[in-house]
Amino acid sequence: MKILYRISDGSYKKERFKNATKQHCIENFLTHFPKEEVVIYADNVKDETLEWIGHLGCEVRRTNGGSSAAGFRIVLADALQLPDTETVYFVEDDYLHLPKSRQVLLEGLERAHYVSLYDHRDKYIPASMGGNPFIEDDAAELTKVFVTNTTHWKLTNSTTMTFSTKVSTLKEDADIWNKYIAGTHPHDFQCFLELRDKGRTLATPIPGYSTHCEPMWASPLTDWETI
C-alpha cells in the first residue's frame, strides 16, 4: 500500500473536536499505518510545521498547490505513476482512525472499487434536514450490506477526498477525477456520483473506522474525542 497524506497550514474554517489538531491526527494515523508506506505532502506549510513533520519518520515532500483541489492534483499525478497492482490511500489532515484501520481498508477493496473508512453521518440525516440529497425522511440509505473478516460494510453514494482504491482503477477513472478537481475546491460528491454511474462501487464500514473531525458529521457510535 502507498499512503499519500496531505497536510497544510490552511484549512476551511470548521468546528472540530478539541483533540483533533493536525498534529494529533497524523500521530494517531501513524499508530495504525506503517511509516514506510506513508508519503506526507506538506502543502504551503510554514518552516516550523515542516520541521515537526520531519521528525515523524516518513518521506516528506514539500509542495505549493495552495488549495484543496490543487493539492489533490499533485498527489493524484504521483499516484498515477505507481504500478497498476498498487493500492493507494489518499488521506486528508483532519481525520482520526481506529485500530485495524489498515486491515479493514484492504478487506473492503476485495469487494468494492473504492473504500472509505468514514461512515459519513450525512447518510443518516434526511435531505430535508440538511443531510445527503438521496436520504429521505426515514433517515435511511438504500444500499447493499456485506461482511468481511473484520466488519460489516455498506455501499454508499459518496464520500470525501479521503479514500482508497487500486491504482489500476484510478487510471481507468482519471478522466472523471480530473474533471472534478480542476478548480480550487474538489467536487467529491459529484465525482463519486459519476463514478457510480460508470458502475464503480464505493463501500464504507458500519460503524466507521475513521472520521472527519467535524462533530456534526462524525462517524456514529464512537466517542472520537477520546481517540
CATH of the domain at 221: 3.90.550.10
Q: Model confidence over 193-204: pLDDT tens digits?
A: 999 999 999 999
User: In whole angstroms, how far apart are CA 130 and each of 95, 137, 218?
Assistant: 22, 11, 15
Degrees, nearest 5: CA angle 54-7-223? 105
pLDDT tens-digit series, residues 90-108: 999 999 999 999 999 999 9
* Model pLDDT, residue 90: 98
Which residue segment(s) compose the domain that 130 sits in?
Answer: 2-226
Residue pLDDT, tens place only, 174-218: 999 999 999 999 999 999 999 999 999 999 999 999 999 999 999
3-class secondary-structure state, position 151: coil
DSSP notation for 42-97: EES--HHHHHHHHTTSSEEEEE---SHHHHHHHHHHHHTTS-TT-EEEEE-SSEEE
3-class DSSP state for residue 6? strand
Q: What's the number of domains the chain is made of? A: 1
Residue 105 to residue 59: CA distance in whole angstroms: 22
pLDDT bin (cut points 50, 70, 90) of residue 58 is: very high
pLDDT(13) > 80: no
Query: Which pLDDT does position 145 carry in this prediction?
Result: 98
pLDDT band with cut points at 50, 70 and 90 for residue 14: confident
pLDDT band at 12 (very low <50, low <70, confident <90, very high): low
